[in-house]
Structure 1
Amino acid sequence: MNGLDGLLGELCVEHRAVEALLRQLDLVHARGEDAVADGRRLLAELSTLLDEHLTVEEQYFYPLVVHHVPAGTALADSAVHTHATVRRLLSRAMDEGLSAGDRSRCTGALLVLLRTHLRGEDEQLFPLVRAAVPAAELRRRGESLAASRPAATGAPVWGLPPGTGAVAAVRDRLTGHGGPGRQDSP
């Protein structure tokens, strides 16, 4: 997977892709009602990214937390609860019947919750897991994850072959290059 961390490296790459989308949503959110179509498009893209990412964390990462980290069950349960809240907020923000003001408030709450969750995992939970879980186990879990995913289609950042192209993929996600049907990536 991505470096020696295996599963954690993969999750970090996914976190950076989510953060890049959150920055784009910030810009659209600041434009208000003038950017409704852009906001819906970005929310749909965020939904696609999060569907797989949250499932991966719940199936591959949190079982490690429960098994290896002191108070791991409580930490994992809290994170799964946060995931459920993220899914509800995202679904609500994408509701076509929602007024512009309600959509703005819901999207704002979603952005804050996601950033807090990602920061908590990056700065607190990942270091705990790195210290408690043998590196070989993290690599095995990362390999298991890679084997469970379909061959790289070029769409999601984490659909790349292990250890290759992650920087280019994140760059393309940030710059908008390499989208569907585009071969103009720098």
Structure 2
Amino acid sequence: MNRSDDLCHVLTEDHHELRQLLVELNHLTASEPLWRSLADLLIAEMTRHSVAEESYLYPVVRDRVPEGRRLVDEYLAEHEKLERMVKILERHDLPGPELSRLVARLDTEVRAHMRAEEEELFPMLIEHLGAEERAALGRKAAAAKKEASMRQRLPDHPVLKAIIATGAGLIERVRGHLRGRAYPR
């Protein structure tokens, strides 16, 4: 078993990525062109992450962890709250100050949710689920997230795909540079 396959590790890595995106968004103003691209990337990443949790983490917690049903209901309620906030973030007609307040509030809520999972839920999962089973779930979650990629849902138009791929490449290069220099783990 590869440690990076572990479901808890896969989801914790997502948490690192989401925290990084939130830091970057909080350091830009909504009027900057990169802001919207990062906001859209955050929305896509949060969506993929939520789907992975709801498909692979929460069902096994519900079935195998004591009080799992209650815990999962609480986490799903938090997902619904975050989803409502993300739907507002998707809007393109909100003034900059309102978007900045929304991102700050989303940052607080997302960080609290991730901290609770990492400190409460993941240790319970490790206690009640074997390493091989967690690895199998982690591989499935990673594959599902990859399959849900935003770029795979584009219409089959070569010019549109090339433009979006170029923009995504730039964002990924900028994020890689920032992650390597300014935000070491």
Structure 1 length as normaliser, TM-score? 0.73
CA shift at 1:101, angstroms? 2.6
Change (3 A) 1:18 1:147: closer
The answer to whether the Cα contact below 8 Å between 2:49 and 2:145 also exists between their aligned partners in 1 is no
The answer to whether the Cα contact below 8 Å between 1:19 and 1:115 also exists between their aligned partners in 2 is yes
Opposite residue 43 of structure 2, the aligned amino acid is: S
Looking at structure 2, the residues matched to 174 and 89 of structure 1 have their Cα atoms a distance apart, in angstroms, of 27
1:23 maps to which residue? 23
The answer to whether the Cα contact below 8 Å between 2:22 and 2:103 also exists between their aligned partners in 1 is no
Looking at structure 1, the residues matched to 113 and 2 of structure 2 have their Cα atoms a distance apart, in angstroms, of 22
Q: Deviations over 1:79-128 (max 9, x none)?
A: 11111111211121231221223222211111110111111111111111
Opposite residue 64 of structure 2, the aligned amino acid is: H
Change (3 A) 1:171 1:72: farther
Opposite residue 69 of structure 1, the aligned amino acid is: V
CA shift at 1:37, angstroms? 2.9
CA shift at 1:4, angstroms? 6.8
Looking at structure 1, the residues matched to 146 and 85 of structure 2 have their Cα atoms a distance apart, in angstroms, of 28
Change (3 A) 1:72 1:44: same
Greater helix content: 2
Q: Aligned pair 1:175/2:177, yes or no?
A: yes
Looking at structure 1, the residues matched to 143 and 86 of structure 2 have their Cα atoms a distance apart, in angstroms, of 29
1:112 maps to which residue? 108
Q: How many residues in Structure 1 have an aligned counterpart in Structure 2?
A: 157
Give me the CA root mean square deviation.
2.8
2:71 maps to which residue? 75
2:99 counterpart (99, 103, 123): 103
The answer to whether the Cα contact below 8 Å between 2:64 and 2:129 also exists between their aligned partners in 1 is yes
Change (3 A) 1:148 1:106: closer
Q: Aligned pair 1:37/2:36, yes or no?
A: no
CA shift at 1:171, angstroms? 9.9
The answer to whether the Cα contact below 8 Å between 2:89 and 2:99 also exists between their aligned partners in 1 is yes
- The SS at the match of 2:91 is coil
- The SS at the match of 2:27 is helix
Opposite residue 119 of structure 1, the aligned amino acid is: R
